[in-house]
Amino acid sequence: MDHRKRAEEIVSKMTLAEKMSQMRYDAPPIERLGIPGYNWWNEGLHGVARSGSATSFPQAIGLAATFDPVLIKTIGSAISSEARAKYNGYRRFGNTAIYQGLTYWSPNINIFRDPRWGRGHETYGEDPYLTARIGAAFVEGMQGDDPDYNKVDATLKHLAVHSGPESIRHSFDVHPSKRDLWQTYLFAFDYIIRHSKAAAVMGAYNRLDGVPCNGSTELLEDDLRGRMGFEGYVVSDCGAISDFYNGHNVCPDAPHAAAQAVKAGCDLNCGGSYAHLMAAYEAGLIDEDSITKAVTRLFEARSRLGMFDDGCPYDSIPTDAYDTAENDALAREAAQDSIVLLKNDGILPLSPSKRVAVIGPVADSKLVLLANYNGTPKKTVTLQQGIIDAVSKAGGKTFCARGCDIVGRDIGNWEENPFREALIAAGNSDVVIMTLGLDPTFEGEQGDGYNSQRGGDRADIDIPEIQMALYREIVKLGKPIVFVSVSGSCLNLREADETANAVLQCFYPGQEGGNALADILFGEVSPSGRLPLTFYRSTDDLPDFTDYDMKGRTYRYFDGDVTYPFGYGLSYTKFEYSSLRAEKDGCGLKASLKIKNAGCRDSKEAVTLYLRPDDVSDGAPNVKLVCVGKVFIKAGDTAELTLDIEPDALKYTDEDGNYYFRKGKYTLLAGSCLEKYATASAHIKL
């Protein structure tokens, strides 16, 4: 079907005012043409959001921690099926209101360059290639595989170079080097657009080299539609075009801002600025051809979503096909695979028949399950409840205590004394499970929660002192301790690493988080999650938050010691890597290796390959991820794998921002990004 031609025919029948009206996110109906009203705003970061009952999968950072693009594509497909089910129900009302449509403003593929950024947990972590692979899989699952129709539209956000500080995002100007721009900040956009044909892109709030991203011809036309070959539509972040004159002060008023954005290539406005397009036209700031081009792209998208047809195959998805038992099981699997085991002296897995204390302010919180941009699942299992259920089933006993609040006054200063309750619970137990960390009101978007004065960002990477004071008192009891760190970002876990018997990182894990954590703790499942970001030792290790130079940031450029490196994660079994070889295969590499499960437990294993140049004097990263996947290996079995290292993974960027294949000597590492954790290596020449 020629959706472009259909869009041109529809738009040709519109008046100029009608065309302009369709460039608003809340587009009104055009009754004389039989065009229903449509609201473009929908969220689906880790499940259908803000639209009633829906499955809530792990937060995006948790999806990245699975290191499993195949699983993520399955999750994307499950989310889009729920989106279609809801749309098929809503459309009977004759139009769709906010959060009821098919155009989803996800995924967030910005790079989590600094762990203080509040919205970092919405991303896939700090690595451009992991972000590209996980993001591409999510987009493919969301948009479906029908040759004529999109299941939903996925929207890559936020273009570009956007990762805090939140408090100044409406006025901030970013000046990255051309190398950092294309090697780090734009790589995933470029990759996903070329490989997965993302339908839409959302522009960022900030300026890039002095020009607001939603009004930059260089960014939207030259880079996005030109160099990347993007063929879809661009939507502004909400209120971003009004920032042209309210925050960035590059335009005198709304008509000038609207005209600049449209001419630069921003087709759809989330906000009210495009209500001034007629004034811009009458002032000679914009012509009708520019309006027509934008509206045609929007109606091509609506046509490809089947909004004007009776024969779209996705119309057959039942209106009750959401929050299903099948998706509940998928959410549990995803949560299991997202939990990262960071330390284990042999205490894990635990016996559920023991006396177990569950202590900490996030243990019984639904907030830490659902994160932000979330739906409302009909069932949620908190971390505490999952442990209680598993222990009760095995005949053990659970003691629970909040201990303290996430942040607050010194322990013991209020009428209820959860601190003493925690000491009693720990004293009655055989083992203590400490659940400490953050929730999404402590790290989030501008205006969220405790840190609203910082726009949702954090001042440091430390666990709040009130929680650590509680932890230190529990340590004095001499009980075995399993430390469960709960957050969407890096926390300072040095003290836990030194004093706890085991440490796990539980990223906001979705509706099945409690069951998944219990599955890991009590050995029903062997952990297989990996860290999608570096866990630094101290905030002092970080460059200035406003500095977008990649020097000293992320595992690719940081030279200091860390508590836990990117890609790190332990298992309950032992995997032995051997026979790693690689040879050129066109512009890519063909690698082969053997992985033996030498332990006594069946387990998944995240298979990661990294490339380390012998010489990085030209500004190349110290090391970078070049292959990622997941394999299930039964105890005692050996998997013989052939892995394709695609040309995109091998590309480097010169100082002018051009990709090239860099000649030289390299070491290919299997197992982790650092040699002391790598279990196999091979020397190659490119």
Active-site residue numbers?
237, 443
Alpha-carbon separation of residue 538 from 142, 425, 452, 683 (angstroms):
38, 31, 23, 34
Alpha-carbon separation of residue 254 from 23, 234, 280, 403 (angstroms):
15, 19, 8, 52
Q: Are 151 and 140 in contact (CB under 8 A)?
A: no
190 is written with which tokens?
A: 């470029």
Q: Are 160 and 208 in contact (CB under 8 A)?
A: yes
Alpha-carbon separation of residue 470 from 319, 361, 362, 422, 497 (angstroms):
48, 10, 13, 8, 16
531 is written with which tokens?
A: 């860290």
Bond from prior residue into 121 cis (ω within 30 degrees of 0)? no
451 is written with which tokens?
A: 């840190």
Print the SS3 string covering 561-608: CEEECCCCCECCCCEEEEEEEEEEECCEEEEEEEEEECCCCCEEEEEE
Check residue 24 and report its DSSP letter: B
**Among all chains, which residue has been given the structure tokens 């657009």?**
193
Backbone φ, ψ for residue 641 (5° rounding) = -110, 140
Q: Is the dihedral of CA 188, 194, 195, 197 positive or negative?
A: positive
What's the rounded Cα separation, in Å, for the pair 619 and 653? 9
Query: What is the number of residues in the chain?
Result: 686
What's the rounded Cα separation, in Å, for the pair 370 and 389? 20
Q: Are 142 and 77 in contact (CB under 8 A)?
A: yes
What's the rounded Cα separation, in Å, for the pair 506 and 377? 19
Displacement of CA 537 from its chain's centroid (Å): 23
Backbone φ, ψ for residue 132 (5° rounding) = -65, -45
What's the rounded Cα separation, in Å, for the pair 586 and 625? 19
Host H or E run for residue 31: none
Host H or E run for residue 267: none
452 is written with which tokens?
A: 């609203």
What's the rounded Cα separation, in Å, for the pair 300 and 496? 54
What's the rounded Cα separation, in Å, for the pair 450 and 405? 12
User: DSSP of 506-564, one letter per residue?
Assistant: E----TTHHHHHHHHHTTSS------SS-EES-GGGS--TT----TT-HHHH--S-EEE
